[in-house]
Structure 1
Amino acid sequence: MRFVSTRLFSSRLGAASLGVALGASATGAAMAEVTRKGSWPAVEPKVSIEVSSEPRNVALKRLAEEAGWSLVLNAPPGDVVDLRVEDQRADKVLELLLSDGSYVATRDGDLIAITPSDKALRPASGPPPAPGLPQAPGLPRLPEPPQVPAAPQVPALPQAPALPQAPAAPEEVEEEDAEQDAPASRGRDRFVTGGSLRIEKGEVVHDVSVVGGSLDVWGTVTGDIDVMGGSTHIHEGARVRGDVSTVGGPLTVADGARVDGDVDVVGGPLHRGERARIKGDVNNEVTPADGEPAAKGATGLARRAGSAVTRTALLFAFGAILLALWPRRMEVLKVEIAARPMRSFALGVVGVLGAVALAVALCVTLIGVPFAVIGLLLAVVAVVAGGCAVLETAGAGLFGHYTKNPYVHLAIGCLGLLLLGAIPYVGNALHAAVTLIGAGSLVATRLAGLIRPRQHRAEGSTGPYRTSP
């Protein structure tokens, strides 16, 4: 057996070197043996562990955590050990830690049960060597020690092998082990656009992508989950071995569900059960995950206020850039908003509904998905530009008789949105009105003149050229 960058010291060896420790273990090689049972993979993960002056059973638990094992240990704690391992195979480190005796390591998936072997228990009974003692001719008192065979009552210890019944623990994790074994078949990728997807219980798939629909997971996902524009529900007993990312929809991780990777939720809430297991990081830009303490009191208020100020500052900066680069087009939007605000609001409602319908229609085909994504990004930029025009128009209406500076008008409009937006319900209605009026002004002005109207032929003209009426 080869040991690389590995040091194991017994408390009895003190500061002895690794060579002395290995030499001492070699003398007990007849007793030190680890018998493997069950299905052990050919390649085990490499681990890095450092344990200082801890019992052997604590070191074994640390090894199980690093290797991702579930450990059932039916062996005595053993001596205190010092262990430092860097990038070594987990099974080799296991054999090294069990070098103090004979053990049986039974594996079922990620569950490993360690029990003393029959060889380790048999010397404890001691009947065979005891009869040899009375045959010593010159030691008449030696027959008294054979009375110690009263200890053969300890042969009750052979019942200790009943301890392997402790692997009854697999009953508690029976479903989990079944899930761990099933993904040996990697599963196939699933990609759905414009519809919903349901992964049944016992079904195994790899990467899952859903655009414009909902996802229900009852089975096992060995890869990642990506959902855009729909809800995602990971039900009880389901497992996701990779990451979960959702955009524009809620995510629910029910009690008993398990996610091994990270969870990212953008534009939607996260509902997490109390017994849901998420091993990676949780990032949610809308609401905190259920079960996690939310910011309260002055801390929560300061956080929300800081976030609102940041958004308003970014909105002002974007509007200032538009005023500097395209002042005439911003003026076109301002004139339309000031002249017909209700018409702009109505056109904004129609335009938003039409854009959503167009995006869903594009997502029905695989070729249309990139166009839908690009169109969504451009629409967001255009609506923000329209909102800046609305805020500048509002600022000019309030302070236009004091100053004609459009940047001051924009700053006043942004400040008003920040203050009024903090009022419950009123703030949401105000944000919606600004967004819809800005979108409607874009529709009414054909994107501020970027889309030119069609020119008509002059009356009586038969030539190929068109003239303006």
Structure 2
Amino acid sequence: MKIISARLFCASRLGAAALGAAIGISVSGAATAEITRKGSWPELEPKVSLEVSGEPRNEALKRVAREAGWSLLLNLPSGDVVELHIQDQPADKVLELLLADGSYVATRDGDLIAIAPAATAPRSAPEPRPAPEPPVSPAVPAPPSPGASPDDAEDEADDEDDDAEEARRTSRGQDRFVTGGSLRIERGEVVHDVSVIGGSLDVWGTVTGDIDVMGGSTHVHEGARVRGDVATVGGPLTVADGARIDGDVDVVGGPFRRGERARIKGDVNNEVSAVGDSGPGAKGASALARRAGNAVTRTALLFAFGAVMLALWPRRMETLKVEIAARPMRSFALGVVGVLGAAALAAALCVTLIGIPFAVIGLLLAVIAVVAGGCAVLETAGAGVFGHRTRNPYVHLAIGCLGLLLVSGIPYVGGAICAAVALIGAGALVATRLAGLIRPKPRGDAATGPYRTAP
């Protein structure tokens, strides 16, 4: 086993820094070390400080990249056990020390770095490190050698362009698309755009593109990085401490949890439901006033929807009201069974691409029907409280909506009552066959049975 030990120390705070390294290498048949850099490398790299003891070289490389803000694509064996004790040293110098046991090629594209042995790296001429003096004039192609023709020079230039494009495509990762299942991006894995429908997503590695998740939970774990935007619909989003998102965050129909040390550079939508966010809009009286305003808006929309249903289908709403008043517990039980059955049917349809549009349309219609059933429950409750004063169904609906607004503000109890209203309304729809929209199948004459006898 080869053991590489590097000790780097910072000498002064006044500006003069000295690098002291003690490197001991025991190699049988040692080769000349050579690090070939490709791509655009800046003159000044960020300084890193870390302690590594008894870990393989690849793990040390990953920790250096994490401290420097890089994304690494390694095509190397795990390497020997390494011990590092580094304080405020340039990251590229530490990278060269860790690769000092052989010949390697490091190809860079922004913050993405691909490292491979020189024997298996793409064939191209070594590129010198760019000079620090700006501006840099365009490179002039070198004249062909005396024994080479112009066509050979053009072919070699085309090969270099193809190799650079291949390295860039490999470093950014491939797109991932999953339907009806969960996806996990492992630590050290690099992917591009990620899309998940009907499943959860766990990100431990690097996503160089965007993330889109519908109908599932999303968790960006510690040490993970997303270079693009993150958008979720119908599920929670959690950004843990130490995670990084360079783009915007949009959360629709789900809670948003953010760690105190999570880094999000772009804009964040859904700040009201953010947990752990220390922003001024998430605390104090402003947050309470915002939640109260949202509750009043939802109640007003619910009353408007119920009024439209009463105006267009008064008989069907009366059918639901009679069923709810006569058998409320039966309606509640049927609502639980109906919701579970609808969820199972939607999950079965989401398994195939053809069934996804039908599942989406069915869920939208089910939501509209459940809201209509909830309006019938509120009208029934309002009639029970204020029915001795007036028989106007709109007044009964308004009183029921007002009572729901007041009760919904009670912690825990308000949520349970809102769920009970929705389930009772759904059960009344099941018991009345969607308020008479689905007619029962005729059973035939009682004397002759379901079959008619020929004369």
TM-score normalised according to structure 2 size = 0.62
Q: Report the count of equivalent residues.
A: 315
Task: Return the offset for 1:170.
Answer: 4.4
**What is the root-mean-square deviation in Å for CA atoms of aligned residues?**
3.3
Is the alpha carbon distance of 1:456 and 1:292 closer, same or farther for their aligned partners in structure 2, counting shifts above 3 Å? same
Q: Is the 8 A contact 1:204 1:220 kept in 2?
A: yes
Amino acid at match of 1:239: R
The separation in 2 between residues aligned to 1:210 and 1:464, in whole angstroms, is 58
Task: Return the offset for 1:394.
Answer: 0.6
Is the alpha carbon distance of 1:363 and 1:392 closer, same or farther for their aligned partners in structure 2, counting shifts above 3 Å? same
Is the alpha carbon distance of 1:407 and 1:253 closer, same or farther for their aligned partners in structure 2, counting shifts above 3 Å? same
The separation in 1 between residues aligned to 2:427 and 2:43, in whole angstroms, is 60
The residue number in structure 1 matching 2:326 is 339
Is the alpha carbon distance of 1:436 and 1:171 closer, same or farther for their aligned partners in structure 2, counting shifts above 3 Å? farther
Alignment of 1:7-86 (within 5 A): 39-40=39-40
Task: Return the offset for 1:247.
Answer: 2.4
Is the alpha carbon distance of 1:296 and 1:275 closer, same or farther for their aligned partners in structure 2, counting shifts above 3 Å? closer
Is the alpha carbon distance of 1:197 and 1:38 closer, same or farther for their aligned partners in structure 2, counting shifts above 3 Å? closer
Structure richer in helix, relative to its length: 1
Q: Is the 8 A contact 1:392 1:410 kept in 2?
A: yes
Amino acid at match of 1:349: V
The residue number in structure 2 matching 1:261 is 247
1:321 and 2:308 matched? yes
Q: Is the 8 A contact 1:109 1:180 kept in 2?
A: no
Q: Is the 8 A contact 1:268 1:286 kept in 2?
A: no
Q: Is the 8 A contact 2:272 2:287 kept in 1?
A: no
Amino acid at match of 1:287: S
Task: Kindly provide the CA deviation profile for residues 212-255 of structure 1, in whole angstroms up to 9, marking residues without a partner as x.
Answer: 32211122222221222322111222222221122232222223
Alignment of 1:88-237 (within 5 A): 168-170=90-92, 180-181=112-113, 184-185=169-170, 186-237=172-223
SS at match of 1:378: helix
Q: Is the 8 A contact 2:316 2:436 kept in 1?
A: yes
1:272 and 2:258 matched? yes
Alignment of 1:282-301 (within 5 A): 282-284=268-270, 287-293=273-279, 294-301=281-288
Percent identity of equivalent pairs: 76
Q: Is the 8 A contact 2:216 2:235 kept in 1?
A: yes
1:241 and 2:227 matched? yes
Is the alpha carbon distance of 1:171 and 1:308 closer, same or farther for their aligned partners in structure 2, counting shifts above 3 Å? farther
1:370 and 2:357 matched? yes
The separation in 1 between residues aligned to 2:382 and 2:396, in whole angstroms, is 4
TM-score normalised according to structure 1 size = 0.61
SS at match of 1:181: strand
In structure 1, list runs of 5 or more residues that go unmatched: 1-36, 42-68, 74-107, 112-164
Q: Is the 8 A contact 2:228 2:247 kept in 1?
A: yes
Task: Return the offset for 1:369.
Answer: 1.3
Amino acid at match of 2:270: N
Where has structure 1 moved over 4 Å in runs of 4 or more? Answer: 69-73, 108-111, 169-174, 176-179, 461-465
Q: Is the 8 A contact 1:179 1:220 kept in 2?
A: no
The separation in 1 between residues aligned to 2:248 and 2:383, in whole angstroms, is 47
In structure 2, list runs of 5 or more residues that go unmatched: 1-36, 47-67, 72-86, 97-107, 115-167
Task: Return the offset for 1:38.
Answer: 5.4
Q: Is the 8 A contact 1:109 1:181 kept in 2?
A: no
Question: Which protein is bigger by CA-based radius of gyration?
Answer: 1
The separation in 2 between residues aligned to 1:454 and 1:398, in whole angstroms, is 38
Amino acid at match of 1:168: P
